[in-house]
Structure 1
Amino acid sequence: MKKREEEGKELDVISIRTMAQETLGDFGGTLATIFYVFLGYTSMIAYSSKSGEILFHLINIPESVSGSLFTGLFTILISIGGTQTTDQVNQWLTASMISLLLAIEVLAVTFGGWSGFDGSGNWGKVPDTIPVIIFSLVYHDLAPVLCAYLGGDLTRLRVSVLIGSVVPLLALLVWDAIALGLSAKADHVVDPVELLKSVEWSGIPLMVETFSLLAIGTSLTGTLLSFLEFFKEQLNNLSWQSSSSSTGSSSLQQQPGDLSGLKKLWGSNKISFTATAMVVAPTLFVSTTVPDAFSAATDIAGGYCMTMLYGVLPPAMAWVVYKRESGDGDSDKDRDSDRFALSGATPVVFVVGLFACCIVVEQILQDFSSLHLHT
């Protein structure tokens, strides 16, 4: 963003593909693109599938129909309202979700307590949950959009990421304690959400279902927004190359009446319309036709896509930037500060990259083991 600002270009959303290509070359850009596209689609499929399941319980509309309507509603919000309106709606949804979560947790503590930490839990099952744990970090998708939305202001970005991470972390830790406590009290292995919904207290099942839907909605908003911006950037690049190669070609003839208006509307919004179709159409097709799409999508998204994109590639990119800055003889003040910051973070970068690689290997071994058992 600094480079583009120095060149006098507009500070638009810079995708992880562009970042990888600038630092790791064409191979890095291609790798980032492949994993990002897989992550975007698997995340969207997971959210669409789960929203249909929740809405079916709430209003008894078939899962395929309700999931499609839910996804379509947020697509219209982002397409028509833009980032600012989407941000305002998302803030309201997030506040409602946090309020519901606090109410549910207070009631759940009364019902289940904190007995999950007394050693009765089966901690050997933790490795199997790693993909879902990493999938909960899917908000990293929104980082490029945040950078553009806040104008590249590092101070505001750090505060937003810190507060935006700490608040759900605290809520999640409380929820984990409650889940372990409820599981310990159950006669057999039961999903804590299903156990809470089975409680005969007035309003509890509705509260849990509504909270789940709000959680899906806020997650879908961030993923859809960032995924659309990613495709827009790629289509803009293709459109620019196409227009450059066809300079001097004959223009379209003026069309009378409604056709002219439609062509004008399509011409000014074709990239946005195309990006939306590319994101939403495959999502709805898979989520409505594949059984148990949510579980399969979260395993793929968390175990491979998220880990590669935000665990393996960023440390590699940071390392290349550090080496490049170290080899640069210029004594610019900003570059010196960037170089110093990267130098202090080098051990952390190495550990994060190594840990992410271990998770990918562990997931591969788990999947091969599962395939061997099924065959």
Structure 2
Amino acid sequence: MKIQYIPSSSCFHQTRPCITKSSWTKVLHQTRNSTPIFLNRSYYYYGYTYTTCNLQGDGSQLKRTFKKLNKGDDLSAEIVVSGTKKGTVAGAVALIIGTSIGSGILALPMKTSPAGLLPSSISLTLCWGFLLIEALLLVEINVGLLKRKKKIMDNEIDLEVISIRTMAQETLGELGGTIATLTYVFLGYTSMIAYASKSGEIIYHLINIPESVSGVFFTMLFASLVSVGGTRTTDQVNQVLTVSMIGLLVSIEVLAIVFGGWSGFEGAGDWTKVPATIPVMIFSLVYHDLAPVLCAYLGGDIGRIRTSVVLGSVVPFIGLLVWDAIALNLSKQAESFIDPVELLMRQRWDGVEIMVEAFSLLALGTSIIGTLLGFSQFFKEQILNNLTWDSSSLQNSRLVERWWISNRVGFTATAMVIGPSLFVSTTVPDAFSAATDIAGGYCMTMLYGVLPPAMAWAMHIAEENDDKKGISKARPALLGVGLFACGIILDQIFLDFSSFRS
């Protein structure tokens, strides 16, 4: 595989690439004979995909380039991989599966329990269909921009990552890019607050350490891994945790089906409680931050990308349906209302309690890793672009001082992520539930619900003579999913306003 390093272009209409202080992106971790199969949701936040490359050959200029990137040098460029070898559908499907299963699965049963199994299952199916259409829109827009950029640059580019922020900026202008950026920042903080809050709650039940202390400790543990261990070590740890998490989820669901029994879809449920469940369903099913990477990984082959998105989204969807059905089936047998996940932990089915707790912590840990990597890189770029760090004393400094000077940008960026997040998670009661509602009801719905059809509509207007078919060309579909996304946001506003008044 050939790996190219080319300057980043912030606009496609120029005849030559214009070098700007834009974000740089690292491409998928892959070796000459392997396929990347890893990562939880959040690992690929919209414009700051942060993974590693395994380089071949010694003493190459490319190795020196990546060495500079790992040190945090401000290289205004993107990493582009080109060559004859492209990724596989199987690898892309596995990537989506690993990315989708995250901490949202822990909040789902608690939110859907008041609605009942039948309404929540139907709602989950509708949300999956809605998000599938949105994902297909994103990949069609991304591939269209990839091909446009490839044509303008007059270069044989097979693989390149174009971020969702860039997609919004190129189709909707500076306003679109600004909305995407602000939404991403808010999404990053609400996600971190949710993870820190829930981890403290789980560890408290496990070893009786106060929630505020255990949540801070758990978050700081992974923050240290990201800051000290570096990208490569973090990537390796994340792969192990993700595989273990998926294995535990399958084992728990099998044990619950075997020992828990099944009472079916008894009762009609309460459909009035369904709107409150939508944000957490979206939070649990979103994998759309992965769309730009999938397009690059599969070389812009729209047919294979669509196949991967459909197949890859089905497996987490079925897993969530089974998980929700198991948890709600148990909650119906309880004498009083209780969190179905907590009820599942109380079962005595061959160690299922420990398995659920371990699965919960793994889901939170992998989610924290992904968010920290992407979100801290966002702040790192802002620091490098807007602040001047004095490194004149680097040569004459002691070993510890040199280490700090070389890594202070990364530590500062990480602190900017976890500082406000830990403050809110330790001071706001039930921060996990509130944060998942905000992240799913507002941030993710705006970023992956409202913006994609708007981008596709604008792109369709700009290319009226393009006869290519796809969801992005079907204006009724764009209007439908766009209005549905806006409806989710308005409904969440109404729910929050009603809760505030009461």
TM-score, normalized by the shorter chain, greater than 0.5: yes
What letter is aligned with 1:368?
Answer: F
Matched, 1:314 2:432: no
Counterpart selection for 1:136 from 276, 280, 284: 284
TM-score (norm 1): 0.80
Measured at CA, do residues 230 and 342 of structure 1 come closer, stay the same or move farther in structure 2, by a change above 3 Å? Answer: farther
CA offset at residue 39 of structure 1? Answer: 0.9
Counterpart selection for 2:481 from 349, 352, 369: 352
Q: 1:168 — aligned with what?
A: 316
Task: Work out the CA distance in 2 between the residues paired with 1:307 and 1:321.
Answer: 20
Q: For structure 1, which segment, 88-97 or 352-361, has the greater mean C-alpha deviation from structure 2 after superposition?
A: 88-97
Task: Work out the CA distance in 1 between the residues paired with 2:254 and 2:370.
Answer: 28
CA offset at residue 355 of structure 1? Answer: 0.6
DSSP-derived class of the 1:258 partner: coil
Counterpart selection for 1:257 from 396, 420, 426: 396
Task: Work out the CA distance in 1 between the residues paired with 2:258 and 2:214.
Answer: 34
CA offset at residue 171 of structure 1? Answer: 1.1
Q: 1:248 — aligned with what?
A: none
Matched, 1:364 2:493: yes
Measured at CA, do residues 163 and 97 of structure 1 come closer, stay the same or move farther in structure 2, by a change above 3 Å? Answer: farther
Per-residue deviation, residues 80-131 of structure 1 (Å, max 9, x unmatched): 5555544443332222122212222222223443325122543432221111
Per-residue deviation, residues 6-51 of structure 1 (Å, max 9, x unmatched): 5489x88654333322221222222222221111100011011111
1:316-331 alignment, distance < 5 Å? 316-326=454-464
Q: 1:199 — aligned with what?
A: 347
Task: Work out the CA distance in 2 between the residues paired with 1:271 and 1:224.
Answer: 14
Contact 1:116 1:182 in 2 (8 A): no
Measured at CA, do residues 157 and 284 of structure 1 come closer, stay the same or move farther in structure 2, by a change above 3 Å? Answer: farther
Q: 1:56 — aligned with what?
A: 204
DSSP-derived class of the 1:19 partner: helix
1:268-347 alignment, distance < 5 Å? 269=407, 271-326=409-464, 339-341=468-470, 344-347=473-476
DSSP-derived class of the 1:257 partner: coil
Contact 1:141 1:222 in 2 (8 A): no
> Can you give the 5+ residue segments of structure 1 that lack an aligned partner in the other structure?
244-250, 328-335
Task: Work out the CA distance in 1 between the residues paired with 2:207 and 2:396.
Answer: 44
Task: Work out the CA distance in 2 between the residues paired with 1:370 and 1:109.
Answer: 37
Say how many residue pairs are matched.
353
More helix by share: 1
Q: 2:122 — aligned with what?
A: none
Contact 2:372 2:414 in 1 (8 A): no
Task: Work out the CA distance in 1 between the residues paired with 2:401 and 2:298.
Answer: 34
CA offset at residue 152 of structure 1? Answer: 5.4
CA offset at residue 316 of structure 1? Answer: 0.6
Task: Work out the CA distance in 2 between the residues paired with 1:83 and 1:371.
Answer: 42
Measured at CA, do residues 142 and 235 of structure 1 come closer, stay the same or move farther in structure 2, by a change above 3 Å? Answer: farther
Counterpart selection for 1:231 from 367, 379, 391: 379
Matched, 1:36 2:36: no
What letter is aligned with 1:103?
Answer: S
Measured at CA, do residues 259 and 62 of structure 1 come closer, stay the same or move farther in structure 2, by a change above 3 Å? Answer: same
DSSP-derived class of the 2:463 partner: helix
Task: Work out the CA distance in 2 between the residues paired with 1:13 and 1:277.
Answer: 27
Contact 1:23 1:317 in 2 (8 A): yes
1:75-86 alignment, distance < 5 Å? 75-80=223-228, 83=231, 85-86=233-234
Per-residue deviation, residues 321-361 of structure 1 (Å, max 9, x unmatched): 1211226xxxxxxxx58x54465444332221111011111
Matched, 1:180 2:328: yes
CA offset at residue 138 of structure 1? Answer: 4.2
Question: Considering only aligned residues, what root-mean-square deviation do their CA atoms show, in Å?
Answer: 3.4
Q: 1:331 — aligned with what?
A: none
DSSP-derived class of the 2:209 partner: coil
Q: 2:247 — aligned with what?
A: 99
Measured at CA, do residues 146 and 56 of structure 1 come closer, stay the same or move farther in structure 2, by a change above 3 Å? Answer: farther
Measured at CA, do residues 133 and 354 of structure 1 come closer, stay the same or move farther in structure 2, by a change above 3 Å? Answer: same
Per-residue deviation, residues 232-257 of structure 1 (Å, max 9, x unmatched): 45455546xx89xxxxxxx9755663
DSSP-derived class of the 2:497 partner: helix
Q: 2:9 — aligned with what?
A: none
Q: For structure 1, which segment, 297-306 or 164-173, has the greater mean C-alpha deviation from structure 2 after superposition?
A: 164-173
Measured at CA, do residues 354 and 82 of structure 1 come closer, stay the same or move farther in structure 2, by a change above 3 Å? Answer: farther
TM-score (norm 2): 0.62
Q: For structure 1, which segment, 116-125 or 155-164, has the greater mean C-alpha deviation from structure 2 after superposition?
A: 155-164
Task: Work out the CA distance in 2 between the residues paired with 1:277 and 1:307.
Answer: 27
Q: For structure 1, which segment, 308-317 or 76-85, has the greater mean C-alpha deviation from structure 2 after superposition?
A: 76-85
Q: For structure 1, which segment, 182-191 or 348-357, has the greater mean C-alpha deviation from structure 2 after superposition?
A: 182-191
